[in-house]
Amino acid sequence: MVVFGGDNNRGGMGKYVEIDLSDEIHDLGFTKVSIHEKNIVILFQGKYPVVSTFRMDEIERTTKGLEKKMITNGIASESAQRLIYFLTTEFLGMLEDERKRREEAAALSSQNGSSREADKIEEEINKDKSEVGKISLEEWEKVRREKYVMLKNTVDSSLPSLWLPLEFTLSVKSIMNIKKITLPFAGIILGAPSTLKTVSLIMLRVWPQTFYTDSFTPKSIVFLPEFSMVMAMSAILAGMDNEATLKR
């Protein structure tokens, strides 16, 4: 029903928007409610149009001002109040839609950002590969050991309690690098708050071919009916213990 504009409308709508009125509101005599940039216009049978300031970020001030102007223009107080009640509900719905839209946009932007970083990592891997050239497994292993010691020492000196969740996460990730394994593996790290259980996951969010999300809702379960494992995981991460949700 409504289309929000960009982010620079400073509380206004930025576009022309017409609000669908309910039968009850029509029966009261209201014929049209529309928003033009920062103005809200009310048409009422036999009366002059009521024009009032509209600010989406100040609903209370908007509705109070509008109610006052409607009564001044001769619209019955009870009718004005019923329209205000109707519009407040509509505005709150619009705000909720806008919040969701922003969240989705932020998630998409974050995903695009991760994707750019993943591309960069892939480029770096290819560059390293060409620089290193052909080396034997033994030579590769020698460097791997050095890099492993460096990683372990860094974790031990900086975030020692990270090692266990990190080792688990990387082991699960490495399964993907083994030929002929086709069985999906789903692991969940359980830990009291502040035990660094999510740090290893967040670190890997930019790694190529990795999808990261911290937004779990019942919707994510509905969209993945074929993966009961994913469903169960989503349910746990969404903090749901509803039997129906899991059986869906």
Using CB under 8 A, which residues numbered 108 to 147 contact another protein? 121, 124-125, 128-129, 132, 134-137, 140-141, 143-145, 147
Distance in Å, CB of 118 to another protein, minimum: 12
Among 64, 188, 215, 219, binds another protein (CB under 8 A): 188
Are the C-beta atoms of residues 36 and 86 closer than 8 Å to each other?
A: no
Distance in Å, CB of 115 to another protein, minimum: 14
Among 25, 40, 94, 235, binds another protein (CB under 8 A): 235
Distance in Å, CB of 116 to another protein, minimum: 15
Pick 71 or 240: Cβ nearer another protein: 240
Closest Cα partner for 42 from 34, 20, 226? Answer: 34
Establish if 199 lies at the interface with another protein (CB under 8 A): yes
Enter the DSSP assignment of 179.
T
Query: What phi, psi does 76 have (nearest 5°)?
Result: -60, 140
* Sole window of 22-30, 52-60, 94-102, 230-238 interacting with another protein (rule: CB under 8 A): 230-238
Among 98, 106, 229, 248, binds another protein (CB under 8 A): 229
Establish if 106 lies at the interface with another protein (CB under 8 A): no
Among 74, 113, 191, 225, binds another protein (CB under 8 A): 191
Residue 49 CB contacts under 8 Å (≥ 6 apart), including other chains:
41, 42, 43
Among 49, 167, 217, 222, binds another protein (CB under 8 A): 167
Helix H or strand E encompassing 64:
helix 59-72
Distance in Å, CB of 244 to another protein, minimum: 11
Structure-derived torsion over alpha carbons of residues 213, 160, 120, 189, reported in degrees to the nearest 10: -20
Q: Name 40's bridge partners.
A: 35, 52
* Sole window of 26-34, 97-105, 106-114, 231-239 interacting with another protein (rule: CB under 8 A): 231-239
Query: What residues numbered 60-89 form the site for another protein, per CB under 8 A?
Result: none
Name the region of 54 (left: φ>0; alpha: ψ -120 to 50; beta: rest): beta
Pick 98 or 167: Cβ nearer another protein: 167
- For residue 17, which amino acid is it? V
Establish if 244 lies at the interface with another protein (CB under 8 A): no
Structure-derived torsion over alpha carbons of residues 113, 114, 118, 120, reported in degrees to the nearest 10: 30
- For residue 145, which amino acid is it? R
DSSP letter string over 102-168?
Answer: HHHHHHHHHHHHHHHHHHHHHHHHHHHHHHH-S--HHHHHHHHHHHHHHHHHHHHHH-GGGHHHHHH
Pick 60 or 179: Cβ nearer another protein: 179
Pick 51 or 118: Cβ nearer another protein: 118
